[in-house]
Structure 1
């Protein structure tokens, strides 16, 4: 975009027309990038709109020296992460509410989803993980260390830590399946 830094400066000063120019230029790119990850056009629209709402509401914090599309990418990445986090929280709640109609809900919850049973299932799967993946998972989910702290302790890159966590969670999701996985996820978060 020609004169981008000037347009950004105008937007930071509150010029809605400058914001509209940036929106018209970058919205399609943000939406396309988001759609490639979330695979749902309605969700992609919502996330892209949220990105530009944040751009406008936090415009005073924008660094004119930084490339604007890098700034947008950072916000977009965070919005997508927030969306996926909301799924982790809302899916178990949806599953729980669907159990209300069952005549045996109390018995099912007591027998199948007993906390010690869930802990044993999770720990059994964690014990079967390769040593480094297990260490990363335990440090992250059970000890509460950040990815940077784990990388430093294990002498690996932050990206490797993220990859191990993703693989560990994928294995748990695959092995535990459906509602039990989400119950286990909530259990792990409560430790």
Structure 2
């Protein structure tokens, strides 16, 4: 599935393991379209496919300390992606909405550095506070798209507004969330910004 790995992947993984965000961005850029295509093919839902690859890369970042010793990263990524897609399909079938969390039960690794996990939990807490501060329409738009996985057109129908208004609401919501998080934390890792779509 992901056999065409990056030539210097071992080096990138070693750099990511010590927190190199530029290396993470290179890895993200290479694998993101592959993960998205695989998730879209299996789910048939572009919004859900986007959420899936975001979740996968959050797992990669939060568990980065384990990457340096990983012998077959593409194989590991395939397994994690496949399992996450199956889990997402099961949740969608049961019509259960899950909030966007940076540290999810099914993505935690007990071998990960506790400090990194704590940072993930702290950012998740601030993110949820940022969402609560949004005006009603922006908050509803953000939650429907980013948390419940609805498409822009589905949200437009549900809220009785145009798809363009949905896009505008989401863009403004993300800018406000980013500003709130930066104000509260002072710094947000580039890796997190890339994955959760706030950059």
TM-score using structure 2 length: 0.43
Between structures 1 and 2, the one with greater helix share: 1
Q: Using CA pairs under 8 Å that are at least 6 residues apart, name the structure with larger relative contact order, 1 or 2.
A: 2
* TM-score when normalising by structure 1: 0.45
Larger radius of gyration: 1
